[in-house]
């Protein structure tokens, strides 16, 4: 009698099932997750009923019945393994879905934060650019305003200078008008003095001529002619009427000296005279009088 009490399995169907079970459990153990995967038992480790051989040939029906029972037990174990593998895969898929969802949420939050930071950065840069543009525009406008204000101040100063010049010219015009009126009054006074001098000079000349005539009649009898009376000066101009020049006493006095207003010089002596020969007053100007 032979008893097969060891765990050796010479059935090729059993060997194929064991290899399928090992191939099924191999990829499941490759996942390293936090949850502890269920432990699997290899088919080779399962206790199988010992086959006892009595040396007697059993009927074919009994052997077939025994093989069917063994196949059913193996199929039941295989179904248990498949169900446990399905549960484990569902757990793994749930964990993976949770991880993917969390990673997606974190990625969305990161992208949102980066987008918000980029938006703030762009807004700040745009704001700085606008402020720089406004500063440049304000500086340009301020510079132009300063230039215009400088031009206005310059125009105001020029206007004030022109107004002051106009006022000065008005004052000078008034002064010249006053001087002209004074000169007119002086000229009128000089004209009156000239007329008076002419009249007095004519009377004196006539009296002098009559006196000389009387003296000539008296001296004509037997007296010799004086040498001075006999000499005739070619430059001597005897005034037929009017006053004679008080400097050369040769020509007619026709220049009035100012400010003393004396009619005492001729035109030739007026060029060199520095003072009035009558009152010795320093002269500053002269006026020529045309006697008619």
Inter-CA distances, 43 with 73, 80, 207, Å: 11, 12, 190
Give the pLDDT score at 281: 86
Predicted local distance difference test score (pLDDT) of residue 8: 45
Residues listed for the chain = 292
- Predicted local confidence at residue 119, as pLDDT: 94
Which value, in Å, is the radius of gyration of the alpha carbons in the chain? 78
Q: What angle do CA 269, 189, 206 make, to 5 degrees?
A: 65
CB distance 74 to 41 below 8 Å = no
Predicted local confidence at residue 229, as pLDDT: 41
Q: How far apart are CA 64 and CA 16, in angstroms?
A: 20
pLDDT in tens, the chain (292 residues): 444 444 444 444 545 444 444 444 444 444 444 444 445 455 454 444 444 444 444 455 666 667 777 777 777 777 777 777 777 777 888 888 889 999 999 999 999 999 999 999 999 999 999 999 999 999 999 999 999 999 999 999 999 999 999 999 999 999 998 888 888 878 778 777 777 777 776 555 455 555 554 554 344 444 433 444 444 444 444 444 568 888 898 888 888 888 888 888 898 998 888 889 888 888 888 888 776 5
Q: Does pTM top 0.75 for this prediction?
A: no
């Amino acid at each position: 009698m032979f008893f097969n009490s060891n765990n050796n399995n010479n059935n090729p169907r059993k060997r194929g099932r064991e290899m399928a079970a090992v191939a099924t459990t191999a990829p499941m153990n490759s996942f390293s997750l936090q949850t502890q995967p269920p432990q699997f038992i290899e088919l080779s480790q399962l206790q199988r009923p010992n086959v006892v051989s009595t040396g007697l040939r059993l009927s074919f029906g009994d052997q077939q019945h025994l093989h069917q029972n063994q196949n059913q037990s193996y199929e039941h174990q295989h179904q248990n393994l498949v169900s446990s593998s399905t549960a484990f895969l569902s757990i793994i898929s749930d964990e993976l879905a949770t991880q993917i969802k969390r990673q997606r949420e974190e990625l969305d939050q990161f992208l949102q934060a980066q987008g918000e930071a980029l938006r703030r950065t762009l807004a700040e840069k745009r704001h700085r650019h606008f402020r720089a543009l406004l500063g440049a525009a304000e500086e340009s406008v301020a510079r132009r305003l300063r230039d215009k204000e400088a031009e206005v101040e310059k125009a105001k100063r020029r206007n004030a200078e022109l107004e002051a010049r106009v006022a000065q010219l008005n004052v000078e015009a008034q002064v010249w008008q006053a001087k002209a009126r004074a000169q007119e009054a002086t000229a009128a006074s000089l004209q009156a003095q000239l007329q008076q001098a002419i009249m007095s000079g004519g009377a004196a000349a006539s009296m002098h001529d009559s006196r000389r005539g009387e003296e000539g009649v008296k001296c004509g009898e037997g007296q010799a002619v004086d040498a001075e009376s006999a000499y005739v000066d070619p430059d001597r101009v005897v005034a037929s009427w009017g006053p004679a020049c008080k400097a050369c006493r040769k020509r007619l006095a026709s220049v009035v000296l100012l400010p003393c207003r004396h009619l005492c010089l001729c035109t030739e002596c007026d060029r060199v005279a520095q003072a009035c020969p009558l009152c010795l007053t320093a002269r500053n100007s002269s006026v020529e009088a045309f006697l008619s």
